[in-house]
Structure 1
Amino acid sequence: MILAEFDYVRPVGLEEALTLLSGTRGSRVLAGGQSLLPGLRTGEDTARLLVDVRHLEELRGIDRTADGIRIGALTTLAELADHPVVLAEAPEVAAAARANGDPQVRNLGTAGGNLAAAGRATDLPVAAIAADAEVELAGPGGRWTVPAEEFAVSGAPAAAVVTALLVPAAGRAAAFEKTADRATRYPVCATAVRITPGGPRIAVTGATAHPLRLRGVEERLRGGPYTTEAVLAAFRAEPRELFVPGRGTSAEYLGHLAGVLAARALQRADQALA
C-alpha cells in the first residue's frame, strides 16, 4: 500500500519537538520507525505530522547514576545489548535488548520505541518491570517518571515523549528467557527475573494480555528454592485467566511455558549470587 499523506518536521531540540507535538493534533514521534512506518503504510496507524527526533543527542546514551543506570530513549537496542555497564548491573535488560529481532532490527530499534510499542508484545518492557525500572517522560508541563509496570498498561500520554529508562542496579542476580515466534520473533512468552534481598521479582509478557509482574508467584517463591518443580508449582497456583491463548496455544500451555522460562531465569540469577 501507499503511505497516507502527512507532514514531516525535524526539530532542532526536544523543547521544539514537544511544542510541535502539543500543537498539532494527530502528530506522532518518529524514532526508529520500524513499527510506525509499516503501520502507516498498511493503514493500521495514522499521522498528520511526523516529528523526527532521531538526531536529538540529548535522548541518547547510557550513564551511571546514583541509583543505577540511565538509558536514553534513542539508545539503540544493539548498543543496549552490548554495553558493559548494563551487562554488569542489569543483565536482564541487556538480554532483553539482545533478544529483539535480528541485527538489523537492533541497529535501528530504540529503547524508547520498544518500551512504547502498542498492540504487540516486545521484550524490553518485561525486563524493565522485573528491574523495578521507571520510564522518564517529557511533555509541555515538564518531566516526570512512571513505574515501568504502570507504563506498560498506560503508555505515553498525548504530546509526551519517552526520554529515558531509569534502571536500578542489581549486579548479576537477574536474567531473561524467551520463546520467540519463528516468523516474527516477537515473544510467544518471555520472562525476566531479579533476585533481591526482599525476594524475587518476576515478570511475564507474550503469554499475558500485557507485560505483567506476578506477585503471587513471587510470594510463593520467597526464600526459595528455585528448583524447576517449585517454580512450576508456584505458576500452577496462578489463575489460568492470566494467560491469554492464541496462535494455536492454550492458556494451560502458556502458563506452563512461563513457569519453565521463569525457572531457567531464576536458576541462572541464583547461580550468579553464589
Structure 2
Amino acid sequence: MILTEFDYVRPVGLDEALTLLAGTRGARVLAGGQTLLPDLRAGADRAGLLVDIRRLAELRGITRGTDGAGLRIGALTTLAELSADPLVLAGAPELAAAARANGDPQVRNLGTAGGNLAAGGRATDLPVAAIAADARVELAGPGGRSTVTAEEFAAAGAPAGTVVTALLVPAAGRSAAFEKTADRATRYPVCATAVRVTPDGPRIAVTGATARPLRLRGVEDRLRGGPYTTDAVLAAFRAEPRELFVPGRGTSAEYLGHLAGVLTARALARAQALA
C-alpha cells in the first residue's frame, strides 16, 4: 500500500512528459520505479504527480554513438539489458558489470539505466561506473537537450523539470572493470569501485565508502605510469585523506579506505587481464 496521494499520467511522447513536469508542482518521473515506489510506500518521499515514461520507445535501446565508436544507452534500457548487451560487454565492461551487480533479477528486469543514475540519496552501482568511463548524461528539459559529465550529475542530480534521456559512453575496449562488496540485506554497495585503464593512466571512481560517487584523482596521479600492483594501489589509497571515507554501520574510515584499495587493485588487475 502507498500511503501518499498523487495523480498519475502516462504521456505518449517526451514533449508531453516535459510539459507535465514543468507545469505541475511536485511532479516526479516514474521509470523503473525501483527507488521511487518503495519510498512512496514508506512515506520517505512524496509526489504531486507521477509522470510514467515507461512506454516512451525513444528512450530505449543501445546503439553506437554518433562518432561510431562510443555507445548511446537509452535511459529506459533495463539493467538486465545493459548487463548482457554485446556492445556494452565489448566496449564498456565496467557498465555491464555494474548493472549485473544491482539487486536481484526482478530489480534488474524493472530498474532502468536512467533511474539508477538518478537515484539520489542512495549508493547505486551505475554512477561510479559511468564516472570511471568518462560518460556524459544526456538530459531533456524546457530549453532542449543538454549533457553533463557523469561526475557532475552524481554531485547535482537532474535539474527540476528535466528527464534523463541517455548515457553517452566513450568506447574503451575491454580495459575496464568493476568490483563491489555489497550489503547482504539491501545489495547496495558497502564499497564499489570502477576503473578504466587509458594511455594517460587509470581512471578510478568509488562509491558506497564515500558520501557520493567520486573520481579519485589523487589515487590516479599516484598510480600514473604504474605498476598497478596491490601494494602500489593500497599505498596510493593510504595517502588519501581519511575523512574522504564515510563510516557506516559497523565500519570505520580506515576499513573503508583499505576496502576501496583492495577492490580497486582487483579491478585494475581484471582490466589489464581483459585488455
One of 203, 211, 214 as aligned partner of 2:213: 211
Distance 1:233 1:41, change over 3 A: same
Structure 2: how far apart are the matches of 1:187 and 1:159? 29
Q: What code does the residue aligned with 2:159 have?
A: P
Question: Could you tell me how far apart the structure 2 residues matched to 1:3 and 1:76 are?
Answer: 27
What's the counterpart of residue 179 of structure 1? Answer: 181
- Secondary structure, counterpart of 2:146 in structure 1: strand
How many pairs are equivalent?
Answer: 273
Which residue is equivalent to 2:33?
33
Q: Counterpart of 1:69 in structure 2: which amino acid?
A: L
Distance 1:9 1:122 in 2: 27
Match of 2:14 in 1: 14
2:166 match = 164
Q: Work out which of the residue numbers 239, 244, 257 in structure 2 matches 1:255.
A: 257
Deviation at residue 37 of structure 1 after TM alignment: 1.0
Query: Structure 2 counterpart of 1:242, which letter?
Result: L
> Which structure 1 residue ranges, 4+ long, deviate > 3 Å from structure 2?
none
- In the alignment, which residue of structure 1 is the partner of 2:157? 155
1:238 alignment partner, one of 237, 240, 247: 240
Query: How far 1:163 sits from its partner (Å)?
Result: 0.2
1:46 matched to which residue of 2?
A: 46
Give 1:43 shift: 1.1
Q: Which amino acid aligns with 2:103?
A: G
Query: Alpha-carbon deviation of 1:247?
Result: 1.1
**Is 1:126 aligned with 2:128?**
yes
Structure 1 runs not aligned, ≥5 long: none
TM-score (norm 2): 0.98
Show structure 2 runs of 5+ residues with no match.
Answer: none
Per the TM alignment, residue 124 of structure 1 is displaced from its structure 2 partner at its CA by: 0.1
Deviation of 1:271 (Å):
1.8
2:245 aligned partner, one-letter code: F
1: CA distance between counterparts of 2:93 and 2:34? 25
* Aligned-partner Cα distance in 2 for 1:266–1:17: 41
1:264 aligned residue: 266
Structure 1 CA distance for aligned equivalents of residues 2 and 222 of structure 2: 52
**What one-letter code is carried by the residue in structure 2 that aligns with 1:14?**
L
